[in-house]
Amino acid sequence: MRPVVRGPWPKDEDGNDINYKDYATARAELISRLGECCSYCEMRLNTALAVEHVQPKNPKGVSSPIRERELDWNNFLLACTNCNSTKGAKDVELTEYFWPDRDNTFRAFRYSEGGIIRPSESLPESKKKMAQKTIELTGLNKHPSHDPKASDRRWLNRGETWNIAQESKNDLQENDTPQMRRQIIRTAMGQGYWSIWMTVFEDDPEMKKRLIDAISGTAKECFSEGNYSPTHRLGGQI
């Protein structure tokens, strides 16, 4: 899960914080700051990308929307239909999960062949549990082995992307030129699932730098200078 920076509350022409009357009007600004992809599963989407409320605006058991949550820029991310509907209206205790706008979420999960996502092996047990809870909250573990009739295709798309990234890496080994590197980045941006590309190219710092720079909103402070390995995020839980 790509760690992101949402940035400060957007201003109007007079330099005042925009007073959102409808959260959907924040969508364009969020896309320009975070890139056109789901903040959780990293699926690239041109349409059907919704403003996501980290803390739900209508948590279960509450009769009307909580306005402070509904219209709070600092509570917004972007989500696809699958992540949005899986997460739903479950009220969340922020400290029990990892969040891409607060934590170095790239450090929390391990991506592997087939598009499988698991908690990183290197985490202490308590953080592994948090990572697992985050995976379950957003349904990133949904797979036909769990539900053969699932309409959710995120796992399938991740698996395909893993194969494309691997083929791209092989192409680069055959023909390592700046042009080939740029072409692979274009493919990665069109394909989405940034974390998969970062994982497949984890031994190639120059490609990781290109990936970090290629999409708006990536939290650059989450990666070390020089080899672009994930580091602890200041203020985050990982």
Indicate the helix (H) or strand (E) that contains 119.
strand 116-119
Q: Which is nearer to Zn ion, 118 or 181 (CB)?
A: 118
Per-residue b or e along 55-83, where b marks 16 or more CB atoms closer than 10 Å to that residue's CB:
bbbbbeeeeeebeebbbbbebbbbbbebb
Q: Which is nearer to Zn ion, 83 or 215 (CB)?
A: 83
Q: With contact defined as beta carbons under 8 Å apart, do 208 and 228 qualify?
A: yes
Choose the binding region for Zn ion from 16-24, 30-38, 104-112, 163-171 (rule: CB under 5 A).
Answer: 30-38
Q: Does 51 bind Zn ion (CB under 5 A)?
A: no
Q: Which is nearer to Zn ion, 83 or 135 (CB)?
A: 83
Q: Does 4 bind Zn ion (CB under 5 A)?
A: no
Number of residues that bind Zn ion (CB under 5 A): 5
Q: Does 38 bind Zn ion (CB under 5 A)?
A: yes
The alpha carbon of residue 187 and the mean position of all alpha carbons in its chain are separated, in whole angstroms, by 18
Choose the binding region for Zn ion from 38-46, 90-98, 108-116, 188-196 (rule: CB under 5 A).
Answer: 38-46
Spell out the residues 6+ positions from residue 19 whose beta carbon is closer than 8 angstroms to its own. 71
CA distances from 223 to 108, 205, 227, 234 (A): 13, 10, 8, 12
Q: Does 41 bind Zn ion (CB under 5 A)?
A: yes
Q: Does 83 bind Zn ion (CB under 5 A)?
A: yes
CA 173, CA 122: separation in Å to the nearest integer? 29
Q: Binders of Zn ion among 114-173, rule CB under 5 A?
A: none
Q: Does 77 bind Zn ion (CB under 5 A)?
A: no
Does residue 4 sit in helix, strand or coil?
strand
Q: Which is nearer to Zn ion, 38 or 165 (CB)?
A: 38
Nearest distance from residue 43's CB to Zn ion, in Å? 5
Question: Closest by alpha carbon to 31, among 89, 102, 84, 80?
Answer: 80
Nearest distance from residue 212's CB to Zn ion, in Å? 20
Nearest distance from residue 231's CB to Zn ion, in Å? 25
CB atoms within 10 A of CB 217: 22
Q: Which is nearer to Zn ion, 30 or 41 (CB)?
A: 41
Write out the residues near Zn ion by the rule CB under 5 A: 38, 40-41, 80, 83
